[in-house]
Amino acid sequence: VLRFEFLRPAELRAALAQGGHGAMVVTSFRSCDSLRWALAAEGVAASREQLLRDFPVFGVGPRTCGALRKLGFRNVTGDDTGEATQLGPMVIDFWRSHLQPRKLLLLRGDKALETLPLLFTQAAIPFDGIVTYNTLEGASEEAIQQLRAIPGLGTSDWVGLFSPSGVRAVAALRRGVPGFDHVRKASIGKTTSAAIEKELGEVAEAVAEKPNPEKLLDAIQTFDSTSM
């Protein structure tokens, strides 16, 4: 129910080529599309190998960290985090451990929460934020028709929710898809669960212990087995 527009920000290429930042923070694996494009620039070629080998990179969660490693980054931290509130203190500690720390480079989507910018601002850490993708909320007409075609859509079905943007999209779908307001909600983590309460006035029936598909499926199966 969400679509994404991947951007080609010139300032990202410039930032990587100039090497003026002390570390990079990436909030979503979706930023890796822009990173791949930026790393291919001629202006980055001279320093690319050193950048991939040594540049400190922080990612929110294992999926983002895995995507960063696939691009070639080797100094990646954040696999054991699930949300920005867990990663932020790690980045702050890293920055404070340097005698002459440089600015951070923060890659994010257009609808990302202000959690990390607020944490960095409160810690007096300078950073440059670059939007690498736009989130287009709202399902396509084709997706809506596919949902309407599901027979008996209701409490025996699940919708997996991975972000506040996805929650808002579900709120809109409830108005156009019969039975969708009775579908159970599985949340990837605390931030998404909070959005469910705010946007839908409900709580998620299942919440993943860790932010990955396997744990989300475990949470769904646990709920189903205990509610039979």
pLDDT digits (tens, 9 = 90+) for 169-215: 888 888 889 999 999 999 998 889 999 999 999 999 999 998 888 89
Please give the Cα distance from 51 to 19 (Å, whole number): 8
Residues 48-58: what's their mean pLDDT? Answer: 97
Which band of pLDDT confidence, cut at 50, 70 and 90, is reported for residue 165? confident
Q: Both 16 and 126 in a single domain?
A: yes
Q: Both 107 and 203 in a single domain?
A: no
Residue 136's pLDDT is 84
Q: Both 130 and 202 in a single domain?
A: no
3-state DSSP call for residue 206? strand
Q: Is 228 exposed, middle or buried (0-12, 13-18, 19+ CB in 10 A)?
A: exposed
Q: Both 39 and 88 in a single domain?
A: yes
3-state DSSP call for residue 65? helix
Q: Both 74 and 169 in a single domain?
A: no
Which band of pLDDT confidence, cut at 50, 70 and 90, is reported for residue 82? confident
Q: Both 121 and 172 in a single domain?
A: no
Instruction: Kindly report which listed range (47-51, 57-61, 174-178, 218-222) carries the lowest average pLDDT score.
Output: 174-178
Residue 204's pLDDT is 96
> Are the beta carbons of 209 and 83 closer than 8 angstroms?
no
Residue 137's pLDDT is 75
Q: Both 112 and 166 in a single domain?
A: no
Q: Both 44 and 119 in a single domain?
A: yes
Domain total of the chain: 2
Which band of pLDDT confidence, cut at 50, 70 and 90, is reported for residue 65? very high
Residue 148 has pLDDT above 80, yes or no: yes
Q: Both 144 and 128 in a single domain?
A: no
Q: Both 20 and 107 in a single domain?
A: yes
Residue 43 has pLDDT above 90, yes or no: yes
Q: Both 146 and 205 in a single domain?
A: yes
Please give the Cα distance from 50 to 17 (Å, whole number): 12
Q: Both 47 and 121 in a single domain?
A: yes
Range of the domain at 90: 2-135
> Are the beta carbons of 6 and 34 closer than 8 angstroms?
yes
Residue 228 has pLDDT above 70, yes or no: no
Pick the last residue of a domain from 135, 167, 193.
135
Pick the last residue of a domain from 104, 135, 166.
135
Which band of pLDDT confidence, cut at 50, 70 and 90, is reported for residue 91? very high
pLDDT digits (tens, 9 = 90+) for 119-142: 999 999 999 999 999 988 777 788
Instruction: Kindly report which listed range (103-112, 159-168, 198-207) carries the lowest average pLDDT score.
Output: 159-168
The CATH number covering residue 77 comes to 3.40.50.10090
Pick the last residue of a domain from 70, 104, 135.
135
Residue 1's pLDDT is 65
